[in-house]
Structure 1
Amino acid sequence: MLLGGLAEIADVGRDSRRGGYSRHLWQGADLELRSWFVERAERLGLEVETDRNGNLWAWWGSPGADAVVIGSHLDSVPGGGAYDGPLGVVSSLDAIARLQASGFVPTRPCAVLVFAEEEGSRFGIACLGSRLLAGAIDADRARALTDRDGVTLADAARQVGVDPAHLGVDRVTLARIGLFIELHVEQGRGLIDLGQPVAVASSILAHGRWRLTVTGQGNHAGATTMDERRDPMVATAQAIVAVQAAARQHTGARATIGRIEAIPGGTNVIASRVHAWLDARAETDAETRVLVADIQARAQQAAEQNGCFITLTEESWAGAVQFNPGLRARFAAVLGQVPQLPTGAGHDAGVLAAQVPSAMLFVRNPTGISHAPEEFAEVADCVAGIDALELVLRDLL
C-alpha cells in the first residue's frame, strides 16, 4: 500500500503539549522510528547497516560504488509536522517496492539513506549526520556537543552502540555515493502558487545559527527599582524586535529568534544572563553575513541602552547551494518541464552537494506551513512524488 509507512508511524513521537511530533536523535521516538525503518526495509529484502555516524543505509542489492542513493530523515523539530523527513523516507521505500513489483532489475547499486539529526533539535547542529559523513564539521567539536540535559553527543552515541571515536568524515562510505536524491515536502508556497504537485529544487539559501548572549545584573524583582536595573531580558526583547526590522530591510532575507533561555529563570528574579538563538538566511553567503552584522549592531545598541553586554557566537553555517545542473536537466528530460524552485530550508542534500551530485524533489504542501502541526500533503500529490521518484530511478538505475 503506497504511503502505508506514514500510517505505521503516525503515533510515534506525538507531542501532547506542543501538538505535532517531537522526535529527537537517539531518544525514544527516534529509536522506535529507526527500528521501524529497519523492519520495513528488510521486508523489501534490503540489507540494512548503520554507518560510523549513526546514519542508516538500506541497500537494494550488494553495497557498492557509484550507487544511486535516495532518502531523507526521520527526526523532527519540537512539535513538528508529520511529513518533514518521513515523507521522503516512506516515498523512497515505496518507489523501490514499485520497481521490484514490476520486475525491474537495477544495473548499479541503490540504497535508501536515513540521516541522523537532520533538524539539530537535540544537539543544535542541523544536518549533523550528513555533515559528519562529509567532513563538514570537526569531529572533536561534534563529540563535545551537548543537549539540554548536558548529555554529550559522544555519550549519547555510546549509549546506542555507536563508537564516538569513529564519528567524523567517512570517505569510504561517501565514495560509494554516485549521486543523491532527496524527496521532501515543500516548506513554502511555491507549488501552491504554480498549481503543480511536484517540483525540482534549484537552490538553497545560505543560512546559519548563532547564539546571542546578553549579560546584565541578576537581582531581586521586588527590591530593585526600575531605574536601578541592568535587565538582559529587556535588552533581549528589544534585540528580538530589531531582528525582524533588520530582516525586512534586506530583500529576500529571513531572520528568526525561535528559542530563548533566561538564567537563572525565576519568576521573581531579574535574569543575570539571557541566551537567544538566531536563525538567519539570505540568497547569498555575503548577503547573509551582512544581515547578521546588521542584527549584531542593533542588538549591541539595545544592550548598551540597558547597561548590558552581548556576544554573538556562530553555531552552524551552510553556504548557498546550487543543485547539480546535469541532474536537474536529466530530471526535466524524464519528468517533463516540471517547475524548478529555490528553497529557504536546509537539507542533507545541500550538505552532500559539495561532495557528490545531488538533487531534490518537492511535493506540494497545501498549507504552505512546515515545522508545525499544520504541515500537510494530499495523498494524490504524495503519489505524484512517488511516481516522479520511480521514473527518475528507472532512468538512473
Structure 2
Amino acid sequence: MLTRQTQLEVDDYRRIFLQDVPLIDVRAPIEFQQGAFPSAINLPLLNNSERQAVGICYKQHGQQAAVALGHRLVNGSLREQRMQAWIVQCARQPQGMIYCFRGGLRSQLVQQWLREAGEDYPRVCGGYKALRSFLLGTLEFCAALPMIIVGGNTGCGKTLLIKELAAGIDLEGTANHRGSSFGRTLLKQHSQIDFENRLAVLMLKKQQEGCHRWVLEDESRIIGSNNLPLTLFNGMQQSPLVVIDDPFEVRLARLQTEYLDQMRVAFEQAYGELEGWQKYDEYLHHGLFAIRRRLGLERFQQMTQRLKWALPLQQASGNSDAHQQWLVPLLQHYYDPMYRYQLEKKAQRIIFRGYYAEVKEFLMTYSQNSGE
C-alpha cells in the first residue's frame, strides 16, 4: 500500500501507476481532454476561458500579474465551490495526489489552499509532464522486449487467445476498438495520448508481474482512431508469428456471436430496445459502407440488400442466421483474401500454425521454455 506521505511532493512515478494512486488533475478541462491518466479525475483550478485569460496576461505582463489575475478570477463563492470539490475528493481518496502541468503554480496554489483548510495532500513533483515522460520511457523500454505475434483470418479468436495468456497485451481492448470496419464498440475511444498512457500502464503492470516478453495480436498500425507507438509497431513487424488456422465454420460462428448477437444485446442494453435496435442497424450498415470502395460497387450493393433483408428477420425472431447471406461472402471475397495476401509477405516469420487450442498450447510451452 502507498501510505500517507509526510513530504508534500512525491516523485515515485512507478508506484503511482502500479498502485493506481488516485490523482487530482487541476489543469483546465481542455488540457485534461487532450491527455491524462487512467486514475485521474479533473477538478480544475481554472476553467478553459480563465486559463486562456491568465495565459495572455502572463505573456503580456509577466508571472506576478498573471497570478494576481488568477486570484481575482477564482475568488469568493467560486473559490469556495472549487475548494469544496477538492476537499470532498481528498476525503474520498485520502491516498491520492495533486498535479498540474509541471507541478508548478496551479498545483502549489491548490495544495496551499487545502493546507489552510486543514488538509495536507501530496503533490506530484514535475506534474503531468513528468508522469507522461515516465510512461513514454516505459513504452520505449517495453517495445524493446521480445515479442511473439498471433495472426490468423478474421474470426479465428486472436483477441480471445491474447486475453487468456499472462503475457498477452490486448491492444484492441486498450483502444476500445476491434480494428476492422465493424470494430467500434459502445465505449468511446480514448485520445491518442490517453491510449498510449493506458498501454504503458498495462505493460508496466505486466512487467511487474514477471512478464519479460509480450504476446500481441497481428495488428495494423492504426486501431480505429488510435495509432500504435512506432517503436512497438516496428518491433511487431520483426517478431516471430504464430497463425491460428481454425475452420471456416468455427470462425463464422465466432463472428456471428461477437459482431451480431452480442452487439445487438449491447446496443439494446445501453439505449433501450427501440433506439438500441436502430443504432445496431446503423452500426452494421456503417461497417459495410466504410469498405464499399474495396468491395466494389456491385458487391457492396448486393451485401447491403442482403443486410436489409436479414435485419427484420433477426428483429422478429431473435436469430441472426440470416446475416450469413452477406457475412459469408464478405469473409470469402474480402477479409480472407486480404489477410492471405498480407500473411504471404510475413511467411518467413511464421514459426507455428494450428487450430486455436494447438496454438494456445504452443504459446504456453514457448513462454515456459523462454524462462517466463
TM above 0.5: no
Larger Rg: 2
- Report the TM-score when normalising by structure 1: 0.28
RCO higher in 1 or 2 (8 Å CA, sep ≥ 6)?
1
TM-score of the two chains, using structure 2 as the length reference: 0.29
Greater fraction helix: 2
